[in-house]
A and B are shown apart, each in its own frame.
Chain A
Amino acid sequence: MNREDFPILDSGIIYFDNGATTMKPKSVIDSVVDYYSNYTANAHRGDYDSSLKVDEEYEKVRTKVRNLINASRDEEIIYTSGTTESLNMVVFGYMKKVLKEGDEVLLTKSEHASNLLPWMVLQEEIGIVIKYIPLDDNYCLTIDNVKGMISSRTKVISIAHITNVIGDVRNIEEIGKICSEHNILLVVDAAQSIGHIKVDVQAANIAFLGFSAHKMLGPTGIGVLYGRYDLLQELEPLKFGGGMNAFFEEDSRYELKEIPWKFEAGTQNIAGVIGMGKAIDYIQNIGLEKIHEYELKLKKFAVSKLSEIPNIIIYNKDTPSGILTFNIDKVFSQDTAVFLNRFGISIRSGNHCAKILKDEIGITNTCRASFYLYNNEEEIMKLAAVLKRQDEIYDNIV
């Protein structure tokens, strides 16, 4: 749907790597160009008209994000460079301070590197204990398995809302309920879910949540950390400098600004914030339910088309998201991706930064086609048509 809003699609490319990053609608691109062409200025320094406008636009987007995820106040929205930075802030700015040796953090093996490595480093630094909640036979997380892993030492559950390889949609509202019963902090990596499915931080009792604008039609280098207001009181900034201090003196006394500005040190990605605001508008105008339904329809269609082709192994037929993970039997995933590229089709091959998921699937590398609102059935038919020509693969790639 809405293909005409995406100038890049005019080139005829078939882009199925939306899990990595998405294309940008003209309204987002124009808003960034408008800022650079017509009112470039820094934020929070507003003695003149353009700077005042920048301030307004910059803060307006906070409200848009708040509405998108149903946060209770604007101050709970902190701009970051993306999910990775958001999760690092949670781990090193908050958890490092409040967790103690022996405290347990529950993760899963299908998490992205950005929701694993920071915890591994924290384990090394202060001796927290990482435990992996087992996945079921379809590599998905079940509520029973979550419950089964909780002990009196469990302090945190940190999981993706939608996983980036299998596209497993976690029931975060139910998990949030369990967390509140056991006094556990729920940290959510929403990189793959934001802009695809409704996220409600209050309904799911989420402590912290991170996402990246570039995976939801926005610019790169900008994202959000949501933190519940009472928890943000304890969050330590990891960066210090201009824009985040209230004052500092020669004798080294200093005071930081209020939440959220104390977490936004240095000149921020203003163009990014503005573009992210337009991306949110764009998504809200269509409606998340409609987007989600459409993605599910595309996925079902793709599953049915690819299932008809010999030698295609699909790993996640049933997960309710726009992510389809497959291989051609006995063909290395990268070879498949290079072959598809010959026909102008972009998919991702590899381990998708979820390097320990291989322990579960027993296979290291897969091909991933991830769909978004501007993809359509015709493109999926082309994918299927090329995959049917799998006999020609080596003639094309070597």
Chain B
Amino acid sequence: MKEVVQLDDKLKRDIILEHYQSPFHKGLVEGDNYIKVNSLNASCVDNIFVSALIENGIIMDARFEGDACAICTSATSVMIKTLIGKTLEEAKVIVQNFDNMINEKEYDADVLGELNVYDTVYRQPNRKTCALLPFKAMKDIMAKVENNNLTD
């Protein structure tokens, strides 16, 4: 039987806050090879930039910058930490499962690792877009890479 990741709420909150207060890879680096996209919340509050360095189908590095709430900032941080080193294929699976988790669809908790701390965000419908914002940026970045490969 598959073991379900169960974190208590206090621990989840601590992880989220840790990532909010000391975000991982906050601050963009200059580099021509980085692909940078902007992701805005339609309710016009959160505004982040995510950039990623993708080589040979692997996410070598990712960083972000911007003004955003605790959920959005921390989710960006956790996402980046989770995705670095993954192949695009693996990343896509993670992004899709995270999306499913937030939108209350069936998902595989095993692939999400630390991202499981957001498994109760669905209870606050107005925060869903905050959690999903960095993932939207990552999807855009991956789509750009694939389009480039097609046109190369």
Residues of A that sit less than 8 Å from B by CB: 332-335, 338, 349-351, 353, 355, 364-365, 394-395, 397-398
Contact = CB atoms under 8 A, between A and B. Distances in A.
Interface string B1-35: 00000000000110011001000000000000000
By secondary structure, the B interface counts as: helix
Nearest to A358: B67
B144 interface: no
A364 B44 CA distance: 10
Contacts of B143: none
21 contacts: A332-B67, A332-B69, A332-B70, A333-B45, A334-B46, A334-B69, A335-B69, A335-B70, A338-B69, A353-B44, A355-B44, A364-B47, A365-B45, A394-B13, A394-B17, A394-B70, A395-B13, A397-B70, A398-B16, A398-B20, A398-B74
A394 B14 CA distance: 9
A343 to B, nearest CB: 15
Given A364-B67, A394-B70, A397-B70, A334 B45 contact: yes
B68 interface: yes
Given A334-B46, A338-B69, 9 more contacts: A332-B67, A332-B70, A332-B73, A334-B130, A351-B45, A364-B47, A394-B13, A397-B70, A398-B13
Contacts of A335: 69-70
A351 B44 contact: yes
Interface of B: 12-13, 16-17, 20, 43-47, 67-71, 73-74, 124, 126-127, 130
A398 B126 contact: no
Contacts of A349: 45
Given A338-B126, A338-B127, A398 B70 contact: yes
Nearest to A363: B67
B108 to A, nearest CB: 24
B127 to A, nearest CB: 7
A349 B126 CA distance: 13
Contacts of B127: 338
A358 B124 CA distance: 29
B71 A398 contact: yes
Contacts of B44: 350-351, 353, 355
Contacts of B71: 397-398
Nearest to A333: B45
Enumerate the 7 nearest inter-chain pairs by beta-carbon distance, A residue then B residue, closest first: A334-B69, A350-B45, A334-B45, A332-B69, A398-B16, A335-B69, A335-B70
A350 B69 contact: no
A353 B67 CA distance: 16
